[in-house]
Amino acid sequence: MELDLHDQFLEALERKYGPRDLLTSKFGTSSFGDIAKDLCISASQFSKLISGTATQGMYMRSIENIALLEKLDALEAEKRQLESGTTQLNETLRQTRSGINKAVRNKVLLYGLLTFLAGSVLTYFFAMNGKLGRFEKAEIPEHPLARYFDRDFNTPYDSPYLNESEVQDYCPCSAYEGVWALNAEYKLPLPGNKRPGVYYLAKSSDVRMKCAKSQKNDTGEGIYLLGYEYLINEIWVDTEETPLSPTYFDKETKTFTEAYHQLDFSTNPKFKKLATIHSFFINNFTIRPDSIIRNGEPCGRFATDVDWALAREFGVDPKYVLENVLADLTITDCNIIPNPFCDPNELKEGKSVIGFDCYYTIKTENLGIGRGYPYRKAFKLIKQNYSDNLLCGCK
C-alpha cells in the first residue's frame, strides 16, 4: 500500500476530528469506534486503515467519506447561521412592531416565519441529500433480519457473519458473505386464475448471505452459503385481458415475445396494480470452483395495498394467488451456472453478479409448454463482510 494514501487518511482524520492521541486511541474527542461508525465500516477495517495494511480502495473510499462528512458539517454550520440570522430579524421586527399597523405587522411576521421555514427546510434537504448519498440507502423497507446482521459493532450483539479468524477456513464461502440485492426486475404471467391477464413483477430483493458453518466439506473449504431474501413484488392486471399466447408468448419456441419484454406495467394505461407482495425466502447455494447451484424454499408472504375493487372486477382472489400461485413460483427449477468467481478475490462490491436461468410452472395446471415459463433472477453484491485477500484461490 502506498504510504501517501495512509498519510492522507490520517491527515483527513485529524482535520475532521482533531489531533490523534495514541494513549487514548482517539482523534480529538472521538474514539476509534465512533469514527468507524461515522464511516460505516467495521472495527477490523478501521484498524487496518490506521495500521497501514488496508487496500488502496479502502483508503480512497474512506478519504472520500471523510470529505463528505466535512461537507455535511459545513452545511449544518450554514443552517445554524441561517437560524441565528432569522432570530435577529425577528427581534428587530419585535422592537419596531409597536409603530406598525396590526394587519401589516401580521403580514411581516408571517413573511419572516415562512422565510425561516423555507430556508431551514432547504438547508435540511441538501444536508440530508448529502448524507443519504454517502450511504446510498435504497428506498425499500428494512430487511427483516437487519437487526441481526447490520448492527454497529460497538453494540452488544453476536453477528451471524464469520469472525476474521474463520474466514480462511470457510473460503470461498466467506467471500460471498454480506448484503446482496436483485440485479434487475423481472416479470412473469400468473396462470391459475379464471381469466387471463394477471402478472407478477419482481421489484426488489434484499439478501443477507452467510456461510453455513454446519456444512463445511471434508477438504476444509466452505462451499455452502445461505441467503436470507426479503422480496418486494407486485401483482398487475391487464384490464383488456389479452391472452398470453400468441401476443406475449410463443408456444413453439417456448419463449416470451419482444412485445412481452417491452411491457412496462407502470406506464401502460391498460395495466392496473392489484397489490404489493412482501415475501421471505431462504436460498441454499453450493459454491464449487466450476459451478454454483441454487435452490431454496419460501418462508411466507403477505399482501399490502390490495385494490379489492379491481380484484372483484376481474375475479382475482389475492389469498389464492398468495397460497397457491406464488407458492409454486418459489418452487422453481433453476439451471446450474458456471462460477464466474472461481477466484473469490475477484468479487467486487457494486459490480459482481451471479445470475440464474430458471423455469416456472404450476403443479396443479398443465401449461402445455413442457418445462415452464423461463425467467432470469440475478443477485448483485452490495457490501462484503470480508474483502481482504483469501487464500483458497481458484483450484
As a whole number, mean pLDDT of residues 114-143 equals 46
- Does position 138 have pLDDT exceeding 50, yes or no? no
Q: Give the distance from CA 105 to its chain's centroid.
A: 51
Listed range (72-76, 105-109, 239-243, 271-275) with the worst mean pLDDT: 105-109
- Is the Cβ–Cβ distance between 207 and 144 less than 8 Å? no
As a whole number, mean pLDDT of residues 4-19 equals 88
| Cross-strand partners of 151 | none
Between residues 129 and 289, which one has the greater pLDDT?
A: 289
Backbone angles phi, psi at 338, to 5 degrees: -65, 140
Between residues 367 and 73, which one has the greater pLDDT?
A: 73
**Model confidence band, residue 217 (pLDDT cutoffs 50, 70, 90):** low
Average pLDDT, whole number, for the chain? 81
Angstrom distance (rounded) from CA 153 to CA 42: 7
User: Does residue 192 come out as left (phi exceeding 0), alpha (psi in the -120 to 50 range) or beta?
Assistant: left
- C-alpha cell of residue 146: 437487519
- Does position 133 have pLDDT exceeding 80, yes or no? no
Whole-prediction pTM: 0.63
**Model confidence band, residue 216 (pLDDT cutoffs 50, 70, 90):** low
Angstrom distance (rounded) from CA 285 to CA 227: 8
- The pLDDT of residue 200 is 92
As a whole number, mean pLDDT of residues 142-167 equals 86
- The pLDDT of residue 280 is 92
